[in-house]
A = this chain, B = another copy of it.
Amino acid sequence: MSKGTVVLAYSGGLDTSCILVWLKEQGYDVIAYLANIGQDEDFDEARLKAEKLGAKKVFIEDLRGEFVEEFIWPSVQANAIYEDRYLLGTSVARPCIARRQVQIAQREGAQYVSHGATGKGNDQVRFELTCYALYPEVKIISPWRIPEFFNRFRGRKDLMEYANEHDIPVPVTPKAPWSMDANLMHISYESGILENPKTHAPVDLYLMTKNPEDSPNTPDVLEIEFLKAGGIPTCVKVDSLKVIYGSIVNLICMISLFYLNSGKHGVGRIDIVENRFIGMKSRGIYETPGGTILYQAHLDIETFTMDKEVRRIKQGLGITFSELIYNGFWFSPECAFVRDCIARSQENVEGKVQLSVFKGQVYMLGRESPKSLYNEELVSMDVQGDYDPCDASGFIKINAVRLREHHRLQGLSGSKK
């Protein structure tokens, strides 16, 4: 008698392979689910492995298109960045993966979902809040939070032993002394030797970007075009090569953007300490080559085309949005609300940005837009334009009314600050 069916977010690695077998051992039918969000993976081999381990069904789902269109683009529109530095590459992937997971669970009549995220991290929260939000009745099995599991598997050695006992293939190459997570947008590295915040990251850690010391000695000049309908990058030209963004070629565009240009120049490496939702500080190293370029390019075209005060309000919403994404609330009413507000702000965000990438850095070179609020004549030091400089005197004096009153009060109270 089966206890029921579990849809397991399966990665093909040692942890989730052991979890798959352990879940079966506990009496569940297991459906293995593996999302393709652009990571470097042999999906066929993973399918075979899951089947061999006893998965009732295996779903390998190509989510790259929806990942880019529904999750990465809104983040680019928001200039989403967590704690001033982290571009949220992992955070935006989790709701995308978990949404399909519960869709499969609902379609297959499974009452349970399971994942291999640890009990101290952010990902457990991101996965599970998505599941509860979209499938409120779901039951979640989180082995790394179940004492029978985590007390049995206290280290990698225990997992290896269990694998050997249960005919689970074990990795032949030794594990790097840190953990990593990769997708179209970025790779993150954490744990292991990186847990000491003072320790410098090894030179050979980075897989997605070239070491700037070894990257080309001449810059590449890019042009990124944001087309009508709001702040969405639609086209990347590299020198003579021009790639048009559209419904079909978006991934080509992404790949061209993410791999060819930016990783080549070592753009987007950061080494930070961040504050997890669950209240711990952790150290993370990230490389987000294309995302870093898109962030800079969007920031530039947005400031060029958006009204100053709309920008201020939208900046605040973007910070809120970033925190919501980081904390796992992508599928929440407030995140939907903020997303809609931000989309509204992008109405006129349209135009071309020229930039160069070189040795890990992005340099804006120029920008143009049919929707710009930039008025060259108005701002010119050489032309008066439709502007009377005398007005500025009144503007300044009225702004000073309050400051002069404050000074008067200080004089009265005898203390000057």
Contact = CB atoms under 8 A, between A and B. Distances in A.
A344 B344 CA distance: 10
B361 A361 contact: yes
Contacts of A379: 120, 195, 276, 280-283
Interface string A211-229: 0110001110000000000
Interface stretch (A28-36, A181-189, A331-339): A331-339
Contacts of A367: 197-198, 273
A196 interface: yes
Interface in A108-158: 118-120, 124-125, 128-129, 132-134, 136, 142, 144-147, 150, 155
* Chain A interface bracket (under 10, 10 to 19, 20 to 34, 35 or more): 35 or more
Given A275-B303, A309-B333, A310-B333, A403 B133 contact: yes
Could you say which of A348, A354, A367, A401 has the most chain B C-beta atoms within 10 Å of its C-beta? A401
Nearest to A196: B376
Interface string A265-295: 0000111111110111111000000000000
Contacts of A210: none
A180 interface: no
Given A389-B145, A394-B391, A404 B309 contact: no
A313 to B, nearest CB: 6
A233 interface: no
Given A219-B213, A309-B334, A371-B409, A280 B401 contact: yes
A48 B275 CA distance: 49
Contacts of A176: none
Count of this chain's copies in the oligomeric assembly: 4
A197 B124 CA distance: 36
A388 interface: yes
A403 B412 CA distance: 40
A345 interface: yes
A348 to B, nearest CB: 7
A303 B272 contact: yes
A85 interface: yes
Given A275-B308, A280-B378, A124 B409 contact: no
A375 B280 contact: yes
A396 interface: yes
A84 interface: yes
A303 B133 contact: no
Contact of A341 (B341, B394, B397, B406): B341
A1 interface: no
A405 B375 contact: yes
A179 interface: yes
A58 to B, nearest CB: 27
A64 interface: no
Contacts of A376: 195-197
A251 to B, nearest CB: 26
Contacts of A317: 313
A338 B219 CA distance: 41
Could you say which of A84, A199, A299 has the most chain B C-beta atoms within 10 Å of its C-beta? A84
Given A132-B400, A195-B379, A279-B308, A334 B315 contact: no
Nearest to A282: B379
Interface in A362-380: 363-368, 370-376, 378-380
A317 to B, nearest CB: 8
A367 B316 CA distance: 29
Nearest to A178: B381
Interface in A223-278: 269-276, 278
A389 B136 contact: no
A17 interface: no
Given A129-B396, A310-B333, A337-B341, 7 more contacts: A120-B381, A128-B400, A132-B396, A309-B329, A344-B344, A378-B405, A395-B399
